[in-house]
Structure 1
Amino acid sequence: MGGQTGSGPLRVAVIIGSTRQGRAGEAIAGWFVEHARRRQDIDLDVLDLLDYAFPDRFPDRATPQMRRFSGAVERAEAYVVVTPEYNRSFPASLKQAIDYAYDEWRAKPVGFVSYGSHSLGIHAVEALRCVFTELHTVTVRDGVALDLLDEGGLGTEPQQRAATAMLDELAWWGLALREARARRPYIA
């Protein structure tokens, strides 16, 4: 459990949580990944839920796509979830994917890049914090919250600062928890 430990850059999975046609998540994740790749302390893997053919219903046995996703979650040491807000919560596609892994999430940090109209995706993040707490993760305090109605576009200075602050926290927690998992197996 907890993935491989070691040294080197922190392995961060960026999860694009929306699968809607015409979604903004792909462009937002692209901007975020470009910003994050400037850092030397993290190594990014993008997990776009559109790239997975998940079953309509939770099967008795994991499908190859479910195993591929949970394997990527296992290998990662930290996560950034890119999520829209739909009806004051996050998309069903994201909840479905989160539920395909369980122990793989434990004792790792999660950061959020959220977006929406007016609310900036804050309600989706608050709902996700409850889910990830149940999975024994550590959610970082600071995040990136984007207003889709903002005419400033992506990559404004405040957005860049928010992304850097969130990544700083994620890296600190990720490295601290990497060291903790190496010294002592997680108990839950």
Structure 2
Amino acid sequence: MATATPTAERLRLAVIVGSTRSGRFAPTVASWFADLAGQRDDLSVDVVDLVETPLPATLPGFDGPSPDDAALFDAITPRLAAADAFVVVTPEYNHSFPGALKNLIDAHYAEWQAKPVGFVAYGGLSGGLRAVEQLRVVFAELHAVTVRDTVSFHGAAGVFDGPVPRDAEGTGAAAKTLLDQVVWWARALRDAKSVRPYGS
């Protein structure tokens, strides 16, 4: 009989809700995914919603955020730093990803380094995959490792029945594959960094 992973040994997964647009569908997708991730005994899930934890429109300079903006960064930066891995939930807007998400990414650096990033995307015919393609390039510049498999919803509003996808089996299997890859990389990178700090 399998035993549960002790809480202290669980990987810390930050699920980032990347859309802040009025009427957004992101919370539905993110809640579904975070619930699945939270059912695993190897993960501790923190949902980082950019509506609930907004950053200022002006990014910090080389000396860090201004005193007026410091509290906003204090609400989100430690959570990113504490994460062992990330899954970004993103829509596709005009063949790309939301500006608020780019703002979050650009406002941080070391928090992403040598950690895995997975993607749950949604959109029209493309299912958000063009946004994911661009995010892979951005995260590579920040020394993050993006996992190969993606959960993608084409015409997302039409494939969800309330809070869950109609194809619960297929989407659940896709989410499991993504999470398995994220967990593998998170453990491998965490173990490697415990032996030798990244970049040394």
Scaled by the length of structure 2, the TM-score of the pair is: 0.87
Matched, 1:133 2:145: no
Deviations 1:131-164 (A, max 9, x none): 0000001100001001225644233221111100
Q: State yes or no: 1:184 paired with 2:196.
A: yes
Instruction: State how far apart, in whole Å, the 1-side matches of 2:89 and 2:82 are.
Output: 19
Distance in 2, Cα, partners of 1:17 & 1:55: 15
Residue 36 of structure 1 corresponds to: 37
Q: CA contact under 8 A between 2:125 and 2:154: conserved in structure 1?
A: yes
Higher relative contact order (CA 8 A, sep 6+): 1
Matches within 5 A, 1:35-74: 35-60=36-61, 61-62=64-65, 63-74=70-81
Is the 8 Å Cα contact of residues 121 and 151 (structure 2) preserved in structure 1? yes
Q: Identify the residue that residue 22 of structure 1 maps to in structure 2.
A: 23
State how far apart, in whole Å, the 1-side matches of 2:130 and 2:158 are. 22
User: Where does structure 1 lack aligned partners over 5 or more consecutive residues?
Assistant: 1-6
Contact 2:122 2:128 in 1 (8 A): yes
Counterpart pick for 1:84 among 88, 91, 98: 91
Greater shift after overlay, 18-27 or 52-61? 52-61
Q: Percent identity?
A: 46
Distance 1:158 1:54, change over 3 A: same
Deviation at 1:58, TM superposition (A): 1.8
Where do 4+ consecutive residues of structure 1 move more than 6 Å?
none
**Contact 1:110/1:140 (8 A) holds in 2:** yes
Alignment-mate amino acid for residue 183 of structure 1: V
Q: Which runs of 5+ in 2 are unaligned?
A: 1-7
Query: What residue in structure 1 maps to residue 3 of structure 2?
Result: none
String of CA shifts for 1:55-93, please: whole Å, max 9, x gaps.
122244322212332211100000000000001110000
Distance 1:151 1:79 in 2: 26
Tell me how far apart the structure 2 counterparts of residues 67 and 152 of structure 1 sit (CA, whole Å).
Answer: 37
Which whole-Å CA distance do the structure 2 matches of 1:99 and 1:152 have between them? 32
CA distance in 2, matches of 1:181, 1:25: 33
For the aligned residue pairs, the C-alpha RMSD in angstroms reads: 1.6
Deviation track 1:113-141 (CA, whole Å, cap 9, x = no partner) reads 00001100000000000000000011000
Q: What CA distance in whole angstroms lies between the structure 2 residues aligned with 1:123 and 1:98?
A: 17
Structure-1-length-normalised TM-score: 0.92
How far apart in 2 are the matches of 1:164 and 1:107?
Answer: 22
Alignment of 1:5-20 (within 5 A): 8-20=9-21
Contact 2:153 2:159 in 1 (8 A): no
Aligned to 2:112: 105
Q: Residue type matched to 1:168 in 2?
A: D
| Structure-1 separation of matches of 2:182 and 2:41 | 14
Higher alpha-carbon Rg: 2
Query: Structure 2 counterpart of 1:85, which letter?
Result: E
Say whether the 8 Å CA contact 1:118–1:149 is kept in structure 2: no
